[in-house]
Copies of this chain bind each other. A is one copy, B any other.
Amino acid sequence: MTPYFVGAFIPARGWRAGVKPAPTFARVLHKRLVKACRSKVCKKMTFSFEILHKSSETGARLGKMHTGHGDVETPAFIPVGTQATVKSLTPEELRGLGVQIILANTYHLYLRPGHDVIAGLGGLHRFMHWDGPILTDSGGYQVFSLSRLRKISNEGVTFQSHLDGSKHLLTPEMAMEIQDALGSDILMCLDECTPYPATHAESLESLELSTDWARRCKKHHEPERGALFGIVQGGMYQDLRAQAAEVLIDVGFDGYALGGLSVGEPKELMIDVSAATLPLLPDSLPRYVMGVGTSEELVELVALGTDMFDCVIPTRNARNGQLFVRRGSINICNAQYRDDQAPVEAGCRCYTCLHYSRAYLRHLFMAKELLAYRLNTIHNIHHFMTLMREMREAIRQDQFEAFRKRFYSERK
């Protein structure tokens, strides 16, 4: 950034009064602005959320998140790029599939290659060649699901790396620093993901730890370093969820997530807890249900007013041969596809369906060919992106109930 540019533009307020550049000049300056806004300097100041339309029939809302790395239309599905890559795909392919934001995992990147390494290389966006928004989780979920010998104290959580057994302490403050070093656009508070099942007392204890950590995250977080989301825990107890929401809203975050769902509980329970909790969250801020879900869950949760989701289902299941279609899904290893000339789904416009038969995809999968995982992933992400786009369009037209009806009728 040139000194001149710094002088002419005040990121927080826009153009300085009285300075009205000639068109060509403005164009040059605009380019520099875009570039600068993609660097650490001012990218984080720009986070905001606007609601464009609310469904009159359901709680669904159409919105847009503005981040320093671009906009995200909501309701949005966030593909998971655990280790700084959405497995098997390039960023260009993700863009082509309509992906606007990805998720990366603090736990994995902290352990390998190290957040310091990534920071030294210019941050996660540059490292992985993705110039869109990135949301990073806090690492909490992985500490509890992947690592060995976890020990929780008020200070934080001590754990052994699942890679080499090395010992680490993760505190709320460190979770902020790691995500900041990565250059995340949306940071998540460190929390404890309450397991299922858990008693009321266990859930309360876990919740209190999470809210205490959330306060410390907020305190340690510099607002200009990115948006910070709080995570509502509380197990499957609606009173605890309400209590958590109240405390977190009091602390004040840029968005609110529901954590500790999709951890083994029945789908109906997950929907019930979400239905009870989502209305307690600020209407004007993004609402994010973490780790969810299936197509049906996305539809139901959008109807309840959810704006964001992340889940490994489209990518992981692709690598296991499960391909999503409007009727449900097919398992490509099934012998019935051996001679099947048809694409995975008739009418699907994804690269995979446009060029390859089920027979070829089955062959690749049976032969454990690398291309199998890639073509399957392309189809599944396209399927999820199409579902989200259709839901957004339905909300825009205030036709969400009609959409939902059609969605279920196709699955019969």
Contact = CB atoms under 8 A, between A and B. Distances in A.
Interface of A: 83-85, 87-90, 108, 112-113, 117, 120-122, 127-129, 338-339, 341, 351, 355-357, 359-360, 362-364, 366-367, 369-371, 373-374
B113 A359 contact: yes
Contacts of A374: 88, 90, 370, 374
B129 A88 contact: no
A408 to B, nearest CB: 34
B87 A370 contact: yes
Given A357-B121, A359-B127, A370-B370, A338 B113 contact: yes
6 contacts: A83-B369, A84-B360, A87-B371, A117-B339, A122-B341, A129-B356
Contacts of A351: 90
Contacts of A367: 83, 108, 112
A183 to B, nearest CB: 14
B85 A355 contact: no
B129 A355 contact: yes
Contacts of A370: 85, 87-88, 370, 373-374
Nearest to A341: B121
Residue in A85, A112, A120, A356 whose Cβ sees the most chain B Cβ within 10 Å: A85
Given A84-B360, A90-B351, A374-B374, 19 more contacts: A83-B367, A85-B370, A87-B370, A87-B371, A88-B370, A90-B374, A113-B359, A113-B363, A113-B366, A117-B339, A121-B339, A121-B357, A121-B359, A121-B360, A127-B357, A127-B359, A127-B360, A129-B360, A370-B370
A120 B338 CA distance: 11
Given A121-B339, A121-B357, A129-B356, A112 B369 contact: no
B85 A369 contact: yes
Contacts of A112: 363, 366-367
A359 B129 CA distance: 12
Contacts of A88: 370-371, 374
Contacts of A90: 351, 371, 374
A108 B128 CA distance: 36
A127 B338 CA distance: 12
Nearest to A340: B121
4 tightest Cβ-Cβ pairs between the two chains A and B: A88-B370, A129-B355, A113-B363, A85-B371
A129 to B, nearest CB: 5
B117 A360 contact: no
A370 to B, nearest CB: 4
A110 to B, nearest CB: 13
A339 B122 CA distance: 11
Contacts of A84: 360, 363-364
